[in-house]
Amino acid sequence: MDKRKPPATEEGWYALHDCRSIDWDAWREAPQRVRDRALSEGIDFLEAYEAVEDADEGQTAVYTVMGHKADIMILHLRPTMGDLDAAERHFEQTEFAAFTEREYSYLSVTEASGYTEKSREYFEGEVDDDSGLAQYIQARLHPDLPDDEFVCFYPMSKRRQPEQNWYDTAFEERAAHIKRHGDIGRGYGGDVNQMIAGSIGFDDWEWGITLWSDDMRNIKELLTEMRFDPSSSKYAEFGPFYVGRKFAPADLPAVLAGQRVPTDSGPTAAEPDAGAATASAAEHDGGQGASAHGHAGGDAEGHGNAHPGSAGQGDHPHAEDAPDEDADHPSGSGGSSGGRPDVSADFEEVDDAVQRVGRLGMVEGEDYDAGDYALVFRSSADAEDIVDDVSDLAESFDHYDRHVTTTVRADSGQTHVVSVWTAKDAAETAAGFLTDIDGIEETVGGPLGASDGGDSEDRGHGPAESSQSIRDQLEAEGVYAGKPHGEDVYALVVYSEADAETLDGEVADLRSAFDRYDTHVRTTVYGGDDLAAVASLWETEDAAETASGYLTDLPGVVGRAGEGDGFGTMGMFYTVKPEHREDFVEKFATVGDLLEEMDGHRETSLLANTDDENDMFIASQWDSKDDAMAFFRSDAFSDTVSWGRDVLADRPRHVFLA
């Protein structure tokens, strides 16, 4: 018999699924001080590993496990097996580990393999490292663990029986099975995320499959459909299934107290009162902190770059290529949950917080929104001496939805730590950690409202007009301005020197692939006088960024909105009544003349959908966002919008370009 050809493979991060049960009798009988220490060390361990303090890169997440098989599952992804070895032994050193017993574990490594034609090109070195396919495969080898509520993990192998031996079939037959199986998986893109890890020689089975979804029925339906495909029905064997729900390390006391997690029903349950100060030794940002409102949250949308049926997979089931508040709060050392004591700290409340943060260079609409709450703590330490500690805190605080920014600022030789939250009670909890920073002398806090003028304006530190007020102005003029920063979708625009007809054919293939994902809104070719543009709209930022790798592979691409300096401010999508199309084009020429005279304006182009000339797209480049917003507030823009009510078929859609 001829020797069978195995697929080429590439490996990424090593994975350890560590499933533990709780010794509930021992937990109930333990003194409160012992339980407090166990929870403290357990949270410290989990938060430090989620922040990847132990390695150069990787991911960690913790889940409850339902049923008799285990109580919690810790999933580690790390670049070396040595990292996983250390993680296991580190956990055993904690007081919390003494109340657990390992019920199951699984060792594997993320894997991509070359069954499809495209993936074979990658393994044969025919694909550039910066191509969309190469970046996609690398994302699969080094995945982002999604924030989906549910996880399902199971091991599997391919059958090796006399009449059903996967490894005795020809390469082409295996590739056909993989392709057909992948076609099923692609139908669940956007509903189920997955990670495939190989374990031949690592563990008792051949692959470890991890699936995530916000609805377990999606996983059930996917696996049911795949069971009927011959790749599974004839050739697959499955091990035990572990199903659980994701929770934050800070919710460990609630897990042990039998409470519902995530504890997201009240402020105290969701804020960093369970050891946020222990997390993250990530690189700091030079003392500037996180800006504006990229709030971290329990949102699965941009994560888990592994839709079923994706590129670079191998002999596994999902292969093929494609482009009551108080009751829930575990607070206080005397509570039944064994939670940590309250860590909040006192500070003086002031009514001039806007002016204080203004003097430190922070403005409304850019660094915070009206109605947020700021802590301003002065330290006697040099700014550079506390930047790392503050950055660690900021990284930890980012796990909480209500954190806006925490940063070090200097003014007139004095060092300040500014921490902004969307609610006062969240700031109060954070204050307990901020007071531990070296040299803290003065602690004040206050609401960030609209400035009342006065001396803050005289000093030139008055806040910029808020993004909410800009939205209100646009809304009043009949222009849809989307969510807090304008976007109801994420828009990618690439420009090409190729003619629009050439792009049409290429984009048609991409659009067909993109349409398999629920997060895809539309992808359209627009033609202009000098350049053509491809605009692709997505519901999530991660989906848009993944798509960008494919868009930049289009012929003749010369640039992407937002690249370099300046501000790729907007796409204004207009649907024009057919009888008024010429009027609209003439009006644009008039407005274009006005734009040329505005400070900060670089270029504004009008393009038309190659399939529908009445679908118009305006792309505008500015030196800064403030310059662009000045146009929105101008009389010229207001007059144009008023005029447009008679010529447009629907309301304009304004998006910022991703």
Catalytic residues: 154
Hey, what amino acid is at 429? T
Cβ atoms of 256 and 230 within 8 Å: the answer is: no
- pLDDT 10s digits, 372-417: 999 999 999 888 889 888 988 888 787 677 889 999 988 767 899 9
pTM, whole model, 2 decimals?
Answer: 0.46
Does residue 511 register a pLDDT over 50? yes
Q: Average the pLDDT over 246-264 and give the result.
A: 89
Does residue 358 register a pLDDT over 50? yes
SS3 (DSSP) at 337:
coil
Does residue 347 register a pLDDT over 80? yes
At which residue do the structure tokens 């400070």 appear? 599
DSSP string covering 496-541: ESS-HHHHHHHHHHHHHHHTTSTTEEEEEEEE-SS-EEEEEEESSH
Distance (Å, whole) CA 571 – CA 620: 7
Cβ atoms of 379 and 438 within 8 Å: the answer is: yes
List the end-to-end C-alpha distance of the chain, in Å, as a whole number: 55
Does residue 237 register a pLDDT over 90? yes
90's enclosing H/E stretch is helix 81-92
Does residue 462 register a pLDDT over 50? no
CA distances from 235 to 1, 221, 284, 316, 321 (A): 20, 20, 50, 10, 20
DSSP string covering 373-396: EEEEEEESS-HHHHHHHHHHHHHH
The pair of structure tokens assigned to 95 is 């007081």
Distance (Å, whole) CA 95 – CA 97: 5
Highest mean pLDDT pick, 257-261, 278-282, 591-595: 257-261
Task: Give the mean pLDDT of the chain.
Answer: 76
Does residue 494 register a pLDDT over 60? yes
Does residue 597 register a pLDDT over 90? no
The pair of structure tokens assigned to 166 is 């996967």
At which residue do the structure tokens 């305006």 appear? 618
What is the per-residue pLDDT for 488? Answer: 54
Does residue 318 register a pLDDT over 70? no
Does residue 44 register a pLDDT over 50? yes
The pair of structure tokens assigned to 382 is 């040099």
Distance (Å, whole) CA 156 – CA 592: 62
Stretch among 28-37, 302-311, 440-449 having the lowest mean pLDDT: 302-311
The pair of structure tokens assigned to 462 is 């008055």
Q: Average the pLDDT over 429-454 and give the result.
A: 79
34's enclosing H/E stretch is helix 32-50
Does residue 640 register a pLDDT over 50? yes
Stretch among 11-20, 296-305, 336-345 having the lowest mean pLDDT: 296-305
At which residue do the structure tokens 């900060």 appear? 600
Cβ atoms of 374 and 356 within 8 Å: the answer is: yes
Cβ atoms of 543 and 535 within 8 Å: the answer is: no
Distance (Å, whole) CA 234 – CA 281: 48
Q: Average the pLDDT over 109-119 and give the result.
A: 78
**Can you name the residues that pair with 566 across neighbouring β-strands?**
none
What is the per-residue pLDDT for 58? Answer: 96
Does residue 119 register a pLDDT over 90? no
Taking phi over 0 as left and psi of -120 to 50 as alpha, with beta for the rest, 126 belongs to alpha
Confidence of residue 602 (pLDDT cuts 50, 70, 90): confident
Q: Is the dihedral of CA 477, 482, 484, 489 positive or negative?
A: negative
Give every CB contact of residue 604 below 8 A, 6+ residues apart in sequence: 592, 595, 618, 619, 620, 621
Check residues 606 and 211 and name the one with the higher pLDDT: 211
Give every CB contact of residue 419 below 8 A, 6+ residues apart in sequence: 374, 375, 377, 393, 397, 405, 406, 407, 427, 430, 431, 434
Distance (Å, whole) CA 73 – CA 150: 12
Confidence of residue 565 (pLDDT cuts 50, 70, 90): very low
**Can you name the residues that pair with 448 across neighbouring β-strands?**
372
Query: Could you tell me which of 491, 13, 496, 66 has the C-alpha nearest to residue 242?
Result: 66
DSSP string covering 135-200: HHHHHHHSPPPP--SEEEEEEEEE-EETTEEGGGS-HHHHHHHHHHHHHHHHTTTTT-EEEEEE-T
What's phi and psi for 455, nearest 5 deg? -70, -20
Q: Average the pLDDT over 247-256 and give the result.
A: 95
Q: Compute the C-alpha angle 221/311/512, nearest 5°.
A: 75
Cβ atoms of 226 and 289 within 8 Å: the answer is: no
What is the per-residue pLDDT for 19? Answer: 98
What is the per-residue pLDDT for 538? Answer: 80
What is the per-residue pLDDT for 641? Answer: 66
User: Within a 10 A sphere around the Cβ of 2, how many other Cβ atoms?
Assistant: 5
Distance (Å, whole) CA 39 – CA 61: 17
Cβ atoms of 48 and 279 within 8 Å: the answer is: yes
- pLDDT 10s digits, 64-105: 999 999 999 999 999 999 999 999 999 999 999 999 999 999
Give every CB contact of residue 31 below 8 A, 6+ residues apart in sequence: none
Q: State the alpha helices, DSSP H only, in 215-295.
A: 216-227, 230-233, 252-256, 267-270
Cβ atoms of 331 and 523 within 8 Å: the answer is: no
Check residues 198 and 575 and name the one with the higher pLDDT: 198
**Can you name the residues that pair with 524 across neighbouring β-strands?**
535
What is the per-residue pLDDT for 653? Answer: 60
- 432-446 burial code (b ≥16 CB/10 A, e <16): bbbbebeebeebbbb
- pLDDT 10s digits, 137-155: 888 899 999 999 999 999 9
What's phi and psi for 537, nearest 5 deg? -110, 135
Does residue 651 register a pLDDT over 80? no
Give every CB contact of residue 241 below 8 A, 6+ residues apart in sequence: 152, 153, 154
What is the per-residue pLDDT for 52? Answer: 95
What is the per-residue pLDDT for 327? Answer: 33
What is the per-residue pLDDT for 81? Answer: 96
What is the per-residue pLDDT for 75? Answer: 98
Does residue 424 register a pLDDT over 70? yes
* Helix, strand, coil share of the chain (percent; to 5): 35, 25, 40
Check residues 205 and 519 and name the one with the higher pLDDT: 205
Confidence of residue 571 (pLDDT cuts 50, 70, 90): low
Confidence of residue 339 (pLDDT cuts 50, 70, 90): very low
